[in-house]
Each structure stands twice: as C-alpha cells, then as structure tokens.
Chains A and B, each alone.
Chain A
Amino acid sequence: MKINGRAVEGEVEPRLLLADFIRDNAGLTGTHLGCEHGVCGACTVQLDGHPVRSCLIFAVQAHGHQVATVEGMAPSDSSLNTLQQAFHECHALQCGFCTPGILMTMDAFLREEPDPTPERIRSALGGNLCRCTGYQNIITAVRLAADRLNC
C-alpha cells in the first residue's frame, strides 16, 4: 500500500489491524488507538481519500490502496498546513491524543464541504471523541481553516 505517497510493503497475519500496520510496520505513530472498537475516532486515517477507522480494518484490506495519515499533512518540517495551524491558533487541542484522528476527519470533511456552518462542523465531528476540550475550540478552528482555504 502507499502511505502518504510512500510505498510500504509487508507480509502480515490476516488479523493484523491497519492501525497496527501503520504504527508498527510503517513506524507512523501519529495514528492513535483510543478504543479499538470504532467509537472514539482517534485512529481515523484516510483510505483513498475517505476517512476510515483504522482499528476496524485489517491491514490486508488496504492492500494496493492509498492511505493518508496525520504525518502527511504538513507541507514541510518547519510548517503546518492550514487546518493544523488553525488548531494551534484556536487552542483546539489539549493533550493532543485525539487530534490526529480529528484532523484526518476534518480534512476530508472540508474537501467535501468547503464552507460548512458551525452546526455542520459540529455534526461532522460527532464521531470523534475528545475528552479535553469540550469541542468548541475545534469547531472554531475548522471554521477558521475553511475561511483561510476559501480565500
């Protein structure tokens, strides 16, 4: 499979989760496991551009597909992309454990819906748990990113 544009190969047990493949085989530990049963959304990555829970997919199911993770978002080592920057500026994270999954979910959401209302963002965020922030600043950050991406 390709992860963030880089080909990653491996021979794995059928039961290996995509999340474990990304973390252990590809060494990309930005994708976090919060529940391993598809509720919390921390492990969200994009599979062929669509947000998916990498704890509910086996690695073999991603064979030959394109996977995007949080590590592929920033344009360079010394910069953040628009959405990441907005999270930073709006205090949209505290412990940061859920943040990669939320960024991947919201990145795909903004592609689909580039000019969402706060209510639409709130609803799109409903599948990602955050225990620290109370969500309000995340919604503000996504709206700020939308404004910047649209100008």
Chain B
Amino acid sequence: MKTTADRIDPVAINGIGTSPLRKEDWPLVRGEGTFIADFKRPGLVHAFVVRSPLAHAQFPSIDCTATLAAPGVLDVITANELPDRGRPIPTRQFADEGSNRFLQRPLADGVVRYSGEPVAVVIADSRYRAEDAAELLDIDYERLDVVLDPDDAVAANAPLLRPDAGTNVAGHLLVEMGAIDEAFAEADLVIKETFRIQRHAAVPLETRGLLAEYDAETESITVWGAAKIPHVNRTILARLLGWSDESRVRLVELHVGGGFGARGEFYPEDFLIPFAAIRTGRPVAWVEDREENLRATNHSREQVHRVEMALKKDGTFLALKDSFINNTGAYVRTHGMTVPALSVSMLPGPYKWPAYRGEFRSVVTNKTPGGTYRSPGRFEINFVRERLIDIAAHRLGLDPVDIRRRNLIDRTSFPHDLGTLYDGHPVIYDSGDYELLLDKALPAFDYEGLERWRSEPAAGGIRRGLGIGFFVEKAGPAEREYARVELNDKGDVMVYTGAASVGQGVETVLAQICVSHLGLPYERVRVIHGDTALIPEGMGAFGSRATMLGGAAVMRASKQLRKRLLDAAAEELEAAPADLMLSPEGVSVVGAPARSVSLKTLLSTSAGVIIEEHRFVCDLLGFPYGIHVAAVEVDTASGAIRIHRYAVAYDIGRCVNPVLVAGQISGGFAQGIGGALLEEFSFDANGQPMSASFMDYLLPTSEEVPDLEVLITEDAPSPLNPLGVKGAGEGGTAGVGAAIANAVSDALGSEVTRLPLSPQRVVELAGE
C-alpha cells in the first residue's frame, strides 16, 4: 500500500538529495546583508576594549581620570566596576573540576596573563574617540616571567600562571584499553616519534561584534550579534549578570560572517558589552578589529605528541601509545577540555588496535586562550597517526595503502565501540565500511595514475610525492534539538529551528528536509533561527550537528504536520490519507482533482495556521569518515610546495544537498591548507604576538588553494537519526595536515614531524 510519503517527489520540490539555489544568497550578493557592524540603534554609543600590551604582568590599579574627562567619553569600566569584580566565565562543554581554577573573568583584576587580555572598556560617542580616550588610561604594568611553550609549562620551576593552583596543568585524562605492555613486548617493530602541531585558529573573515540595548522599564536586555549557540549564551549571560530569570535576556543572531568553532563562544566581551549597556542606559556597540581578533579570539591546535606504535613485521598494528600536551593558553575558556579530549578519544582512527593508551595534559601558558577550530583535536591527531603509519610502512618496506587496508576496522564490526569516552559520550562508531570507501576512492582519483606520475622524472630540483590520510570524523551531538513547523492557509511554511547559521547554508538544508516530508514546494518555506525570543530552546550550530540534529527535528515536525493535515482532509473528503495530495492551495484526491479542500477551509478552525513541534534527542555521536589524497611537487631549493592534485572522499551517511556538501568540503580543505602550509601564531620570547595582522598571519588565497576533487558517498547511513545523516562540515579539514605531510615526506625521503610546512622548514627537511 502506498503511504502518504510516497506521494512526495523530492526532486520535483527541491527536497533531500537535490541542490536548489540557496535561500541565503539574495541579500548577500546584493550588499543587503545585516552583519553586526551594519546594525544600528538610535542613541548608539561605542565601546573600545583596552587590552594588555604584555603577556604576563601585574598592575596595582588603573587611573581613569584623564580618560573620563576626554571628549565624548561616557564611561570607563574596570574590574572595580564589575559585580564580584567579575565572575568567572563558565565552561559549557567538558567541564572539569581542575580546570575551573583557570577560568577567565571578563576583565583582568591586577594580573594580566596574555597580550590582548581585556583590562578596561571605554564607552564613547564614537569608536574613534573611544580609542583616543583609551590612550589616556594610566596603567603601571610590572612584568612577570612568562611561560609559552607547552613543554616548559610542565617543567619543574616553570613560572605559574596561577601560583595558588600550584601547577600549570589545567586538565588531565588517561584512557587505556587492552594489554598495552604485552602488546609492545611482542612487537617486531616499535616506532617512537614526537610530533608538533602549531597554534592556528578559525579566523572568520567577519570579526566578532555585539550590540546590546537595555530596556529599563522591563529590566531586560537584547544583544544582537549572537552566533553559534544563542540559547546557551543567554543562560551564561543571565548567570553572570546575576539574573535568575533568563527570559529577561534576548540574544539575536544577524548575518554571521563565518564561525568555524571560534565565533559565538562566550567571550569576555559577551558580558562586558551588555553590562556597559545596562550601566550607561544607552545601546552599546562593539566590533572587534582584526588585530584584536588575532590576539583575543580563541586560538587552537597547539599540541606536542610523544607517540609509540607497536607492529608485527607484516604490518599488523599491535598497540598505540600517546602522551601529549595541549597548550590551551592563558585561561580555560568555554570549551573546557573539549579539544584534547577529542584528540585522546579519537586518535585510534579507522584502524583496529588490540591495545591503546592515550593521555593528555592541557596546560595554561601566557598565550591567547584556546578553543575549538573546525575538526578540533582531529586535524592534529590525524596528522600524528597517519604520519606514524607512513613511517612504519617505510621501515617495513610496505605500501602505504596496503598497510592501512590490512588494519582497517572490518565492515562487519559496526557499531564499533572504541572504548573511549568523549565528554561522557561513548565513542561508538555508528556505521561504516572503510574498505569500501578505499575501493571507491582510489580508482575515482586515479591513484594508479598518480603513482606513475610520482615515479616519472620531474624538472631539476623538483621532487614528487604522494600522500594519503584516512580518518574518522565526528558529528553531533549536543544531545537535542528543537523544531517548530507552521503552515498558514496561504500555503506558506515557517520552520523555526534551534540550530544556527554561521554561513553554512542551514536555511537551505532545513527547508529541503522540511519539504521532503511535508510535500510543499521549497520556495514556500522560510527558516527562522537565532532569536531566543522566537525560539524556546536550541543548541545551535557546531560540531557538524545542525543537519544531523536540527534536520531530524525538522523532519519529524514536518511529518507530524503533514499527517495531521491529511488526516483532517481525509475526513473532509472521505478518502484515505494515502490517496491525497497536498499543494499550497489545499488537499485533493489523487486522480480526482475536483475532490479537494482548500487550506483556508482546513485551517479555519485553528486561526488559519497549523503548528507542529518536535524535540529530537540523540545522546550518541555520528562518525563520518574520509580519505584525503595529495600529490605534490616540492622545490628543494625554494621550499615551495605545489599541489599537483588533491582529492577528498567522504562518507557522510546521507547527503541532503550535494552542492553544499561539496562546498563545505572545499572550504574546509582550504582551511586545512592554511593549517598544513601557512598559518601559525608565533610569539617572541616575551610572549608578544608576532602574527597580529594579515600580513603576518597568512590565510590561504586563491593562489594557494588548488582545485579539489570530491567524492561524496552515502554507503553508511547513521542509525542514530531518521535521516541517516552524519554531518559534513569538518572532513574537508580533518585530513589535510596528514595527507600533505605524508606527500612531502614521500617527496623528500625525510620524515615530517611538525607543521606547518613553511618553505624554510621544507628546505631544512630537504637538506636532511
């Protein structure tokens, strides 16, 4: 028997699996977007955040007299003015009792611990005048010893950021599975190596910004410029303000110029700007400039791994041991131990390891605090593990593809429990067929042809290399998501979601999911997100979760709505629901269009609108997986790396919009290129940032990012949600460091053990 869903043709209505033009584009290409700096309120004044010029110093007091007297200045805020001298900003993920000793307060109070730490806020009638007045602040800094390197941070006698804590170690975790010592005892070969991944970060092209306005009459505050997790941040802001009723706080997301993990977390400014609006009674705007952005917004990725791998002669993996230090910077911010915890829980990757022992220490140093960046913790460990495997293959004289294939987790052993935990969630690979992806990717990318290309002679001084990186990604959770679908009697559909937009196309994708289960045209759907006054709850957009959880919620709500509507129409038309068709005009009987009832009639008893809600809950993570292949030419004289070909194969369970998924992979890949070759936050010996402009911090341009070949597969739908999707946001980034480093090692015959592969480092390697 046909069900009502069979009457829906997803292709005809731009549903799942198609690539309709994005809903988001129109205002953005016309210059009519509203990003935070474009948004104004009457009576607006401007905030400038005064930041520490030193990486570690104490300051007994701040003299604001001259600043307060400067033209246009309304207020100056220091720790003196804050409730409880500033309450610590809590972690929202992976909380840890030990790390709570290292939380950041909105303003430094007597001690600054990184260059760029907020020490005061100046409010004036223009940003220009606020900056002028900030120059007049009188602060006597007394330098303290700095600690910058993660190894130095754990050394005996290291300067302590928190002498009261007695340590720089903010978090520690050990995971152990299998008989590790026995496995090493029976090994034919043990590889021991140290790998370093450099500090780099998300750096969205739009810097952060906020506009806050206080309504004294209702004692409520509205903050525009929210991103990623508006509802979560509403709770944090209410708590820091000391307000028990969080409905007095409204957070609103405008257009968001990229997130990638960093934007939208709760930063000191997310408290300071609303607080300034309450104090001054004026709407207060703040927009970060690029220099602030590079010093103040979360950094990521800085890790040092000391790994050992045990193998049999034939290449069978026996055990893996890793002890690493994660440099989280001066404070533990909202992510808590998320990044190192993802590294330690996912290092094993797509392979069978009879034994695994992983351990991290996350340390504080006098650098910008850290958080997540696209594929957090995984970009790092994929580099470590995949490099280690190639080193093993070289030592054993095995082919890099063969050694991987021999050790892949078997297709029959899913769901596959890795035995590790991530933030309380067991790491159970939900579904997969890793060997099948390898079998598809190699011919699709003409791997044999690339091997021939690699062995052909190149021009003088040029060496060719081929590298592969195999990885498992993660998607979700943030265990629940909300959706509400409303249909009015004109045939217009409104979808309210607790997910958020960071520019990735969530409106388009959720509209496609809605129409696939509701059966009305894509053009009639509007998606509303990012306003805590309009949407009762939400977990936002991060960790490739918006389609997985947000999509599942929209799907269920849309199905419920269709069923309710068709059941009502079936009664009206005296027909079976399965024989009915829904259109924007109404419901009719298939094959007998005259037997119909209008939406106006159907919805006349419910004020012209029908509403369905759904809360989708999923405690487990989804695990998409992929393969990166890089073919490079390395100029041994200049150290330049030319990417001859690059390809990504990614199984994401189910693909809602192929063009958008490919776009996610391409964009993620470009960021991976930045991480593998270009981007690095360096500091001088005093902790001064040396990469605080785009002339020193190098984002990849069109000339560094080659065309990318993409293979999207849907061979292992996730059993965790009714759509089967796994999230596709991070796989483009995850394997770039691994594949490029393997290709460069192959070209030079010398093992890469640290990123980025700057020209200087490549020349050094070529000389080894």
Contact = CB atoms under 8 A, between A and B. Distances in A.
Contact of B35 (A32, A37, A89, A137): A32
B699 A131 contact: yes
A65 interface: no
Contacts of A135: 670, 701-702, 705
B205 A131 contact: yes
A125 to B, nearest CB: 4
A122 B702 contact: yes
A39 B694 contact: yes
B373 to A, nearest CB: 12
Nearest to A133: B667
B53 interface: no
A45 B414 CA distance: 54
A109 to B, nearest CB: 12
A96 B33 contact: yes
A13 B258 CA distance: 33
Interface in B653-689: 659-660, 663, 666-671
B128 A15 contact: yes
B31 A100 contact: yes
Nearest to A86: B29
Given A70-B31, A97-B206, A129-B205, A29 B694 contact: no
A146 interface: no
Given A29-B37, A94-B663, A39 B31 contact: no
Contacts of A29: 31, 34-35, 37-38
A118 B703 CA distance: 11
B256 A93 contact: no
Interface in A110-151: 122-123, 125-139
Contacts of A31: 31
Q: Which residue among A15, A69, A133 has the maximum number of chain B CB atoms within 10 Å of its CB?
A: A133
Interface string B699-720: 1011101011000000000000
Q: Which residue among B128, B667, B702 has the maximum number of chain A CB atoms within 10 Å of its CB?
A: B702
Contacts of A95: 28, 204-206, 255-258, 502-504
Given A36-B289, A40-B205, A84-B30, A134 B128 contact: no
Q: Which residue among B257, B703, B707 has the maximum number of chain A CB atoms within 10 Å of its CB?
A: B257
Q: Chain A binding site: helix, strand, loop or mixed by DSSP?
A: loop
B25 interface: yes
Interface in A28-78: 28-37, 39-40, 42, 69-71, 73-74
Interface residues of B, number: 53
B267 to A, nearest CB: 19
B25 A87 contact: yes
Interface in B1-48: 19, 21-22, 24-26, 28-35, 37-38
A33 B288 CA distance: 11
Contacts of A69: 31
A93 B693 CA distance: 24
A137 B19 CA distance: 14
Q: Chain B binding site: helix, strand, loop or mixed by DSSP?
A: loop
B32 A88 contact: no
B260 interface: yes
Contact of B703 (A33, A39, A70, A122): A122
Nearest to B697: A39
A98 interface: yes
A87 B29 contact: yes
A84 B255 CA distance: 18
B505 interface: yes
B702 A30 contact: no
A118 to B, nearest CB: 8
Interface string B325-348: 000000000000000000000000
A92 B503 CA distance: 12
Nearest to A35: B290
Contact of B666 (A37, A98, A137): A137
Contacts of B511: none
Contacts of B694: 35, 37, 39-40, 129
Contacts of B206: 32, 34, 95, 97
A141 to B, nearest CB: 10
B37 to A, nearest CB: 7
Interface string A89-109: 101011111111001000000
A45 B25 CA distance: 20
Nearest to B202: A131
Given A39-B695, A73-B30, A103-B29, A96 B255 contact: yes
Q: Which residue among A29, A70, A87 has the maximum number of chain B CB atoms within 10 Å of its CB?
A: A29
B42 to A, nearest CB: 14
A123 B693 CA distance: 22
Interface in B255-314: 255-258, 260, 289-290
A7 interface: no
A54 B387 CA distance: 45
Interface of A: 13, 15-16, 23, 28-37, 39-40, 42, 69-71, 73-74, 80, 84, 87-89, 91, 93-100, 103, 122-123, 125-139
The 10 closest A-B CB pairs, nearest first, are A30-B31, A95-B503, A96-B28, A97-B257, A70-B31, A134-B666, A39-B694, A29-B38, A134-B670, A135-B702
17 contacts: A16-B128, A30-B33, A37-B290, A40-B290, A73-B30, A84-B29, A87-B29, A91-B663, A95-B257, A95-B502, A95-B504, A96-B255, A123-B703, A126-B703, A132-B258, A135-B670, A136-B666
